[in-house]
Amino acid sequence: MKSILITGCSSGFGLEIAKHFLDRDWAVIATMRSPRADVLPPSDRLHVVSLDVTDANSIRRAVEAAGPIDVLVNNAGVGLLNALEGVPMETARGVFETNTLGVIAMTQAVLPEMRKRMGGTIINVSSSTTLKPLPLLSVYTASKAAVNAFTESLSLELAPFNIGVHLVVPGRAPGTPFSENARRERMNGGVPEAYKDFAQGVFGKMQDTSAITRPMDVAEAVWRAATDPTCPLRLAAGADALALVGRE
């Protein structure tokens, strides 16, 4: 039986990816900062494991508890929507700790075992903000653009070991708690006065829901990256992201 470890399974894309693979008879190691087995259907193939990707000890314990895995999905991530002048450096560092260094640390933790087995797949969840720049997302976009560059370089050095590396690039998904979490946890200071009118215009445009990404789009893209040997390195997920890259 194939096994997959997914980071950030408490909600949104991670939760949907975990359900998708459970439905298809995989062993799923669903990791969460605050483990809650009841968010997923009961299964003897489901292992809910505690993991904070910014904590080295937590990573070590989770990887040990998981044992050998076929696929790692680096999905955990945090958002930040604000003018750069309104972003304390501590907040910017926190976004990079989770979105960028968390991906690097998790990948480093699973690689020795995959390399010895000469097989495995790493799938990193990026963002369509790296395809089309948007205002008020400079720090978040930088954290994800770094993941893109990391993934592209890593795929070359892991090819000799038969380890596949992929980027799944979702568009905007208003159906997950992502934006609300970002607002609650990282935008307490609000938008600086000088940017208020500009920001109102940006927020207004973001209400357009004609083309969006559903969690299922991301789960299907991750499924393809995990199971299709011909899958390209980068896979857009969701109608809006696909419109930006053209269908692959």
Ligand X SMILES: NC(=O)c1ccc[n+]([C@@H]2O[C@H](COP(=O)([O-])OP(=O)(O)OC[C@H]3O[C@@H](n4cnc5c(N)ncnc54)[C@H](OP(=O)(O)O)[C@@H]3O)[C@@H](O)[C@H]2O)c1
Residues of this chain that interact with ligand X (CB under 6 A) are 7-8, 10-14, 33-34, 51-54, 75-78, 98, 125, 127, 170, 172-173, 176-178, 181
Q: Supply the minimum distance, in Å, between the C-beta of residue 161 and ligand X.
A: 26
- Give the residue with the Cβ less far from ligand X, 121 or 141: 141
- Give the residue with the Cβ less far from ligand X, 14 or 164: 14
Cα–Cα distances in Å, from 35 out to 29, 48, 224? Answer: 11, 6, 27
Q: Supply the minimum distance, in Å, between the C-beta of residue 124 and ligand X.
A: 9
Could you tell me whether strands 120-125 and 27-32 are parallel, antiparallel, or unpaired per DSSP bridges? Answer: unpaired
Q: Which DSSP string corresponds to 218-229?
A: HHHHHHHHHH-T
Query: Bridge-partner residues for 71, per DSSP?
Result: 4, 121
CA–CA separation, 218 and 237 (whole Å): 5
Q: Supply the minimum distance, in Å, between the C-beta of residue 198 and ligand X.
A: 21
- Give the residue with the Cβ less far from ligand X, 10 or 91: 10
Catalytic residues: 140
Q: Assess contact for 122 and 165: CB atoms under 8 A.
A: yes
